[in-house]
Structure 1
Amino acid sequence: MARGYLLLLLFFSNLSLASELVIATTLSPEATAHIIEQWQQQPQAINIRTLNRTSSSLERLLNNPLGENIDLVLSSSPMLLQRLQDSQKLSYFENKVENSRCLVPESIRATTVAVAISGYGILVNNTRLQEKGLPPPKTWEDLGDARYQGMILMSSPSRSDTTHLMIESLLEQRGWQQGWSSLLQLSGNLATISSRSFGVANKINTGLGGAGPIIDNYANVLLNNPHLGFNYFPTSRAAPMFIAITQGSLHQREAGRFIDFLLSPAGQRALSDSDSGKYPVYPLSPDNPMYHQQSLLLEHPSLDYPLTIQRQKLVQLLFDTAITFRLTQLQDAWKALYHAEQRLKRPLPEIRALLTAVPITAQQASDPVYLNQLEQQPDFRESQLMAWQQFFQQQQRLVIKQLEILK
């Protein structure tokens, strides 16, 4: 009797499990709500429940043998999907859609599908900026302009893979040293560093900041607010959104059907309309209002994904050491510099050079041996972090000394 009751319980439990797909995603709930709503209108569609997490939290979730069953991973982070594939957490998926396949880093094409693309730019609160008499910033240089002190928001690459990819794009396009110089100058204008990239959009939406670099779909879902505006970076490249089926999914077939839907005309429309804010992987016709921007995104070469994945730890650690943990110090230093330049009526390039230097060379940043040591050897990593901290402390002392001489 007890055995029969147990079998019956198991039967209904499996029925319940089959009634939904669970998607673990790094996207915000707002970014996925419309896609899921459109899926639910399809014949024989089963319910979808999302678990919205950071990349690190999502990874821990999938590595927990006692955690709930997850069927799909949806993320714009190739680094996350690479780590999940390397640890055998993803199932093989044959993607026959060439427009999608070519957008996926070669190392994860066996498991991962690109279902949409986005671009990077600057979300602005026009009302807040107009109160200060400021034009909307449109480039990385603009974000570092002294006029925007205390007005800029962004996230950290250690908290947001979307921010990491945006920073990597800047570093690749401008070069390692010049890219970090732009970031360190921008840091003097930061009001705060948000814990999530979509938190940047939410704070700008509520007027807690004037502008910030973000991915377009976080901006587009807010643009019904007349106070907001969004401009793509002139050199923004296509940032794919990826999906993959987990190895542990109990509903592989249904998960595959969901991916097929996303690549279908109906799914591509759901991903690219105003409620989702992305672009389809298929080229749009020239008469489509989204055609021009989609073409601009696709004409720029893709990221150097092998390098991006390999040096993820370096970029995360260096950003937090150089900026996140020194934010108040940097705000004060840049403010003092701007006051000195204004008083002397001339630029002070020697002090700017001190504030924008980093302790890692471009050669180290692409050296596989160095990057592997930083990733795999805790003692080496700790010694590097200590050396970086000492470097920035020395730079700060030199800045203060030179500013005092100028008084």
Structure 2
Amino acid sequence: MFCHRVKTLCKIGVLLSLILLSRPVLAQHGELVMATTFSPGATAWIIQRWQTQPDSVTIRTLNRTSASLEQLLDTSNAENVDLILTSSPMLLQHLQEHQKLAPLEDIPQNSQRLVPESIRSTSVAVAISGFGLLINRSALAARHLPAPADWDDLMHPRYQGALLMSSPSRSDTNHLMIEALLQQKGWAQGWETLLASAGNLVTISSRSFGVADKIKSGLGVAGPVIDNYANLLLNDLHLTFSYFPQSAVSPTYVAVLKKSQHAAEARRFMRYLLSPEGQRILADANTGKYPVTPLSSDNPRAAQQAVLMNQPPLNYRLILKRQQLVQRMFDTAISFRLAQLKDAWRALHSAEARLKRPLPEIRSLLTRVPVDAANSENEAWLAQFDNKSFAEQQMMEWQLWFLNNQRQAINKLEELK
């Protein structure tokens, strides 16, 4: 009887959850609803300063993942969302292709040059960020480890069980960071770096800002993150952040929904963010970001802003074309087999330490991926991932491929004993 009641209550709970999720997003009178992929902490300062403006309207945020927002905004229940604040060009591309975004006019050139060409008609860049490593100095000292400075350092066996990372399928911010690595190092070497680093992971975080929170709590000593999440935590003296030497720039975009019931107010908020005052607020360390307009030379953040602004732009056309490939490859190679991956790397590190020499043949088995560089840029082949059956078939083949390579690596390691 008790079990029956518990099951009944669980069913009621699930039903209520589904009803709540299916309800429309309702805006109060004179209220802007802003859907955003950022954490509440990353938007609080901007909204707080906006509310001090004469005749400003209240802004309510919906903080969700890119995939969750994409799903929400594809439904009729999203009629009351007015604008989007995100660092995901993939989300904006999807919304534009589905005629969800309103066209924009008279956008300053210093802003639009940062926006991928395919979404310039509907999206505007209001701030920029960069990528780097957030480090817990106390946790680092407790393990007697040097501070890592770049992706290459994360591959070192000394960081075994010490690193944190998110998945590109869970975080578009993390996707852009991984694409920057793949584009800078090349497809094969980029995956070699990712797979070797993954052998040192504690876990895969479900959100990119979750990486920062877990490092703060001491779960790991370091992890790659975007600066605006890291900078908000740097009042903690145990934490430090350093940019990758070749950090790509990641703009923060604003777009207005075509069906916004407060389009004029939404555009006023966007213009405010691009105004001198709005840019000063975005230059404040409380946002963790940098404005799109150059800072004065006496500003302590001006030098890093200039470094980011001068980085070569990412190939967004390629990013959008192979989005599904990169996400599915990462999860198949790393997320879904993390425990086995860590065991294999632990065994390899132990063997190399015992033999006092590298084992390149075995490393190669653990760092190769089943898609070559040519196919990773072949638009006709990549387009097939829009077919769910094709994508699932590829993932099954990849799983077997990785399993076979790992078995070969373990067998070779056992032969060395």
TM range (shorter): over 0.9
133-142 or 27-36, which deviates more: 133-142
Indicate the residue corresponding to 1:386 in structure 2.
396
Matched residues in 1 for 2:333 and 2:408: separation? 16
Match of 1:206 among 217, 237, 250: 217
- Does the 8 Å CA contact 1:55/1:160 hold for their aligned counterparts? yes
- Does the 8 Å CA contact 1:321/1:389 hold for their aligned counterparts? yes
Indicate the residue corresponding to 2:168 in structure 1.
157
Indicate the residue corresponding to 1:406 in structure 2.
416
Deviation string, structure 1 residues 315-338 (Cα, Å, up to 9, x no partner): 000000000001000110000001
Amino acid aligned to 1:30 = G
SS at match of 1:332: helix
Matched residues in 2 for 1:39 and 1:316: separation? 36
SS at match of 1:66: helix
- Does the 8 Å CA contact 1:95/1:113 hold for their aligned counterparts? no
1:271 Cα offset (Å): 1.6
Work out whether 1:325 is the aligned partner of 2:336. Answer: yes
SS at match of 2:307: helix
- Does the 8 Å CA contact 1:18/1:251 hold for their aligned counterparts? no
Matched residues in 2 for 1:230 and 1:16: separation? 38
Indicate the residue corresponding to 1:342 in structure 2.
353
SS at match of 1:153: strand
Match of 1:238 among 244, 249, 257: 249
What fraction of aligned residue pairs are identical, expressed as a percent? 59
Indicate the residue corresponding to 1:30 in structure 2.
41
Matched residues in 1 for 2:359 and 2:122: separation? 52
- Does the 8 Å CA contact 2:27/2:80 hold for their aligned counterparts? no
Question: Where do residues 1-80 of structure 1 align in structure 2 (5 Å cutoff)?
Answer: 17-67=28-78, 69-80=80-91
1:67 Cα offset (Å): 3.9
- Does the 8 Å CA contact 2:152/2:193 hold for their aligned counterparts? yes
User: Which ranges of structure 2 fall in alignment gaps of 5 or more residues?
Assistant: 1-25
Amino acid aligned to 1:183 = L
User: Which ranges of structure 1 fall in alignment gaps of 5 or more residues?
Assistant: 1-14
Match of 2:368 among 352, 357, 360: 357
Amino acid aligned to 1:32 = T
1:198 Cα offset (Å): 0.2
Moved over 4 A (4+): none
Question: Where do residues 244-393 of structure 1 align in structure 2 (5 Å cutoff)?
Answer: 244-374=255-385, 376-393=386-403
- Does the 8 Å CA contact 2:27/2:33 hold for their aligned counterparts? no
Deviation string, structure 1 residues 12-46 (Cα, Å, up to 9, x no partner): xxx97442100000000000000000000011100
Matched residues in 1 for 2:213 and 2:280: separation? 25
Matched residues in 2 for 1:364 and 1:53: separation? 32
CA RMSD of aligned residues (A): 1.1
Matched residues in 1 for 2:79 and 2:390: separation? 36
Matched residues in 2 for 1:185 and 1:243: separation? 36
- Does the 8 Å CA contact 1:237/1:299 hold for their aligned counterparts? no
1:272 Cα offset (Å): 2.1
1:119 Cα offset (Å): 0.2
Matched residues in 2 for 1:256 and 1:92: separation? 11
Amino acid aligned to 1:140 = W
Indicate the residue corresponding to 2:179 in structure 1.
168
Indicate the residue corresponding to 2:15 in structure 1.
none
Matched residues in 1 for 2:252 and 2:119: separation? 13
Normalising by structure 2, report the TM-score.
0.93
1:380 Cα offset (Å): 1.5
Amino acid aligned to 2:172 = D
- Does the 8 Å CA contact 2:93/2:118 hold for their aligned counterparts? yes
Match of 1:181 among 187, 192, 205: 192
Deviation string, structure 1 residues 228-249 (Cα, Å, up to 9, x no partner): 0000000002110001000110
